[in-house]
Amino acid sequence: MSISVTKWTASGRSGAVAPVVRALQVAAQCAVLAGVWWVADFAVRRVGLPVPGGVVGLLALLAALLCGGIAPRWIKAGADWLLSELLLFFIPAAVAAVQYGGLLRENGWRLALVVAGGTLMVMVAVAFAVEQTSRFEHRLALRRIPIDRRPGR
């Protein structure tokens, strides 16, 4: 599974092919990681587990790494690339964190407090809305049932 990166001499240029081989190695290792995720996601959907396929795939990959089924060198370059590059694609806030590191060091606790407080307020508001909606639907359901057919009468 491991693709070795070697320096070839192509057209008299030493090492001209090595970046291409490195890119192919990273692509192949990313494909292996994506394959693990895909198989785990398929298995979760097939079995009907209430767990995301990515979590099962991560646990399966961890188990394979710990028991020696997969050598870390087989996926290291792909994992390193995914961690270094895709973070900036999917979490734009990481760019702001890098640019405003000083601000985060000074006021990070305040930001964390605001995020935690906001999250808590949203959770309470959603719980309240769900409870009120449930009570309203229950009252509507009781109105639809004729009095003589109500349970317990």
Q: What is the pLDDT of residue 90?
A: 61
Helix (H, G, I), strand (E, B) or coil at 150: coil
Neighbours of 125 (CB within 10 A): 10
Q: What is the pLDDT of residue 145?
A: 73
Confidence of residue 151 (pLDDT cuts 50, 70, 90): low
Question: Any idea how long the chain is?
Answer: 153
Map out the domains of the chain as residue ranges: 18-70, 87-143
Q: Under 8 Å CB-to-CB from 104, ≥6 apart: which residues?
A: 97, 111
Q: Under 8 Å CB-to-CB from 141, ≥6 apart: which residues?
A: none
pTM for the full predicted model: 0.48
Reported as a single tens digit per residue, the pLDDT across 56-105 is 999 999 999 999 888 899 999 999 988 887 766 666 666 677 777 788 78
Of 38 and 4, which is predicted with more confidence? 38
Reported as a single tens digit per residue, the pLDDT across 24-49 is 999 999 999 999 999 999 999 999 98
CA dihedral of residues 132, 136, 138, 142 (deg, nearest 10) = 160
